[in-house]
């Protein structure tokens, strides 16, 4: 399976894990849909058709997309079904639209029940394969990503595919120093866990996967949670958790770090990255590593979470790392996740550039935070804007020459704070536009005339800067108030709301409207509304609005393009919102009326970029970095690897050398600023800006 799990809190939407409330009886017997699931499917289809931002048609085109998405969610690696079995399912390809409206989910269960039978046979084949010696001298190669590979014509072809899968995994373990006996033991445990994973699936899990195959065909941020998942999600969102501080989800066979929670141990270590795979977990400083490839996220979380003060060790592997890359080892002390520690920080940096001395005020903003409860009470409350305002006043008092705001890895947060923060650098004016599904456009304004800081300003962003970060950076750029450097931002320009389906399906009046009731106020879950003895139906998250810059351009897909692009091995379209096949399109609305308040001109940008490009060509360290990143870019696009030990060993060495180049451009809280190439180069560009401003 893929894209089916989430443990807690994230700014980028994903699907959710099943919370096991009791120990089920596992078996390979067929699973069947329930009457409640039929009811939910029909309601969700109609509700989304009425209230989702995108006005989609329930027709044969959508039917084909949903069916393909579901097949990919069941067997995305094309390692279980044969071509003839897939053709046997073609009869449903253009009938799913009718099934969605009627609530018929039988086709989904037919596919999954066959998958379970196929897995049972495949598990037996793997166990037999591991009982024999593995050949590490073969000249065969292995295709890592098989999502576009042709379906195998026979079971014999599938056997050959699995011979390569097992040998490739064994090679990775061998290159990591495991003995032959340890390799066999690890792989046996891994595939026994796979079998447990398949056996654990219940009717509601299949249903959730199918509904999400529908929702992800509309847009990647719309999703459905079955009742047990929704209940667990709400509990975890309301509790103080102790652990490492990460949002996790299943991605294929791996447990992936989807988000790093500001204020948690992983965030403060600076050594983990979004989209890293956790491949093994160990307890304390002496415990043995437990391989968790193939585990469900909720099972893996039991190993990763723990009491405050205890130690957990992780083996992390970048999701874009070439095959054979050695996992990184990370030691963390578990502690209570303290979001209050995820606040903006500042420092003053003295730098000599072109034989001149400069004093730069650096502000790091990990998220846009605001204590809404204290704000409603009317007292003093903590917020991003208040904290940054204090920093700016301190900078002015100490005579800084320019200000650099670091928004790297900032996934967003409070829209109010993005607007108010913009107001510290401009006089009053529009900051962002919002358009609803009814096409009504509202403009959000900064109403404060005071400009707290009017000097040279630069914003550093990367591919993980999203949502509120993009609103702030986009406004600063549109007002010509500052220079944006780094990578293109993520490109998420949509707004979601959460709907508790119990409010509708347990209400006779609402249910009779088949989803045609008002969606107003659906951002709050229904708690204590008198449904204690009623059926539970889960929760639906849907996209209801889009964001637009004051120029009328959307941040959707295109994000915020930097004025000066720093070297990167990543194509903007392979990492952000634009990498999602069903992401809502980029579009525009009318421009707001605003007056440019800065002195950043195209001529000035060209001058700064010329100076930076000159350093790229003459600075030995930068020249080496660019070459290493280009080599890494070629290497990471490679999809076929040798199954020969000696060749694979050489491939691994090349991979590790080029991974070091990627580390140089990654933000690391645990390293000095001198090790952070993006930060040091941004400081130099800011010095050039200061010089030209004078």
What whole-number distance in Å separates Cα of residue 240 and Cα of residue 263?
A: 12
Catalytic residue among 75, 163, 406, 478: 478
Q: Kindly state the tokens that stand for 89.
A: 């399912």
Helix, coil or strand: residue 472: helix
What whole-number distance in Å separates Cα of residue 322 and Cα of residue 632?
A: 9
> Among residues 653, 688, 648, 682, which one has the least CA distance to residue 169?
648
Name the strand (E) or helix (H) holding 508: helix 508-512
- For 410-471, the three-class secondary structure string (H helix, E strand, C coil) is CCCECHHHHHHHHHCCCCCEEEEEEEECCCCEEEEEECCCCCCCCCCEEEEECCCCCCHHHH
Q: Kindly state the tokens that stand for 566.
A: 């720093």
Count Cα atoms within 13 angstroms, Cβ side, for 241.
24
Distances (CA, A) of 181 to 48, 133, 195, 287: 53, 10, 21, 20
What secondary structure letter does DSSP report for 80? S
> Among residues 544, 517, 522, which one has the least CA distance to residue 439?
544
Cα–Cα–Cα angle for 354, 355, 357, nearest 5°?
100
Q: Quickly count: other Cβ atoms within 10 Å of residue 204's Cβ.
A: 20
What whole-number distance in Å separates Cα of residue 470 and Cα of residue 432?
A: 10
What whole-number distance in Å separates Cα of residue 628 and Cα of residue 29?
A: 53
Catalytic residue among 172, 467, 578, 666: 467
Contact residues for 638 (Cβ-Cβ < 8 A; gap 6+): 322
Distances (CA, A) of 548 to 473, 503, 535: 12, 32, 40
> Among residues 422, 354, 349, which one has the least CA distance to residue 388?
422
Catalytic residue among 389, 492, 541, 667: 492
Residue 492: active-site member? yes
What secondary structure letter does DSSP report for 674? G
Q: Quickly count: other Cβ atoms within 10 Å of residue 597's Cβ.
A: 17
Residue 478: active-site member? yes
Residue 467: active-site member? yes
Crossing angle, helix 203-215 and helix 227-238, to 10 degrees?
Answer: 80
Q: What burial letters (b/e) apply to 391-425, b meaning 16+ CB within 10 Å?
A: bbeebeeeebbbbbbbbbbbbbbbbbbbbbbbbbb
Count Cα atoms within 13 angstroms, Cβ side, for 292.
31
The answer to whether residues 591 and 505 touch, using CB atoms and an 8 Å cutoff, is no
The answer to whether residues 502 and 526 touch, using CB atoms and an 8 Å cutoff, is yes
Q: Quickly count: other Cβ atoms within 10 Å of residue 258's Cβ.
A: 25
Residues noted as catalytic: 467, 478, 492
């Amino acid at each position: 399976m893929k894209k089916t799990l989430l443990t807690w809190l994230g700014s980028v939407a994903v699907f959710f894990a099943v919370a096991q409330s009791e120990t089920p009886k596992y078996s390979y017997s067929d699973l069947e849909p329930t009457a409640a699931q039929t009811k939910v499917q029909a309601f969700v289809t109609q509700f989304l058709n009425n209230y989702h931002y995108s006005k989609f048609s329930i027709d044969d085109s959508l039917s084909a997309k949903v069916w393909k998405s579901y097949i990919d969610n069941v067997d995305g690696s094309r390692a279980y079904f044969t071509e003839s079995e897939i053709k046997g399912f073609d009869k449903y390809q253009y009938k799913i639209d009718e099934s969605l409206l009627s609530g018929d989910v039988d086709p989904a269960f037919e596919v999954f029940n066959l998958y379970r039978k196929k897995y049972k046979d495949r598990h037996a084949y793997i166990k037999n394969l591991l009982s024999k010696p593995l050949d590490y001298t073969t000249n065969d190669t292995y295709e890592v990503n098989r999502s576009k590979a042709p379906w195998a014509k026979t079971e014999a072809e599938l056997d050959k595919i699995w011979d390569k899968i097992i040998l490739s995994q064994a090679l990775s373990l061998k290159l990591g120093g495991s003995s032959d006996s340890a390799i066999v033991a690890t792989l046996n445990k891994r595939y026994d866990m796979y079998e447990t994973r398949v056996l654990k699936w219940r009717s509601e899990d299949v249903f959730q996967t199918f509904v999400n195959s529908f929702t992800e065909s509309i847009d990647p941020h719309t999703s459905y949670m079955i009742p047990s998942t929704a209940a667990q999600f709400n509990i975890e969102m309301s509790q103080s958790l102790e652990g490492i501080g990460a949002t996790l989800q299943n991605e294929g066979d791996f447990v992936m770090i989807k988000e790093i929670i500001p204020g948690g141990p992983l965030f403060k270590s600076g050594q983990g990255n979004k989209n890293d795979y956790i491949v093994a977990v160990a307890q304390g400083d002496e415990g043995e590593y437990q391989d968790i490839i193939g585990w469900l996220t909720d099972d893996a979380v039991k190993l990763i979470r723990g009491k405050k003060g205890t130690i957990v060790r992780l083996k992390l592997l970048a999701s874009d790392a070439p095959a054979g890359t050695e996992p990184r080892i990370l030691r963390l002390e578990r502690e209570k996740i303290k979001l209050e520690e995820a606040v903006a920080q500042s420092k003053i940096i003295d730098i000599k550039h072109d034989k001149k001395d400069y004093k730069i005020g650096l502000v790091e903003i990990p998220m846009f935070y605001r204590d809404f409860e204290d704000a409603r009470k009317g007292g003093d409350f903590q917020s991003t804007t208040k904290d940054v305002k204090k920093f700016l006043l301190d900078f002015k008092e100490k005579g800084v020459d320019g200000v650099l705001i670091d928004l790297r890895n900032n996934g967003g947060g409070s829209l109010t704070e993005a607007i108010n923060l913009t107001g510290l650098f401009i006089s009053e004016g529009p900051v962002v536009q919002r358009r609803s599904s009814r096409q009504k456009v509202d403009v959000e304004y900064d109403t404060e005339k005071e400009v707290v800081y009017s000097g040279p300003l630069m914003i550093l962003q990367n591919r993980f800067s999203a949502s509120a970060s993009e609103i702030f950076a986009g406004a600063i750029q549109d007002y010509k108030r500052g220079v944006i450097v780094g990578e293109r931002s993520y490109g998420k320009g949509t707004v979601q709301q959460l709907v508790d389906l119990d409010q509708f399906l347990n209400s006779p009046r609402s249910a009779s409207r088949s989803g045609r009731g008002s969606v107003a106020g659906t951002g709050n879950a229904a708690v204590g509304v008198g449904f204690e003895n009623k059926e539970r139906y889960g929760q639906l998250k849907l996209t209801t609005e889009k964001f637009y810059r004051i120029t009328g351009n959307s941040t959707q897909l295109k994000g915020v393009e930097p004025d000066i692009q720093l070297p990167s091995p990543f194509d903007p379209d392979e990492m952000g919102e634009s990498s999602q096949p069903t992401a809502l399109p980029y579009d525009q609305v009318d421009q707001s009326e605003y007056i440019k308040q800065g002195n950043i001109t195209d001529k000035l940008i060209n001058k700064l970029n010329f100076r930076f490009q000159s350093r790229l060509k003459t600075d030995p360290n930068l020249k080496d970095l660019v070459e290493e990143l280009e080599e890494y870019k070629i290497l990471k696009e490679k999809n076929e690897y040798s199954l020969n030990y000696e060749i694979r060993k050489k491939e691994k060495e090349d991979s590790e050398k080029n991974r070091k180049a990627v580390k140089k451009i990654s933000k690391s809280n645990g390293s000095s600023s001198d090790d952070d190439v993006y930060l040091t180069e941004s400081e130099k560009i800011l010095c050039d800006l200061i010089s030209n401003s004078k």
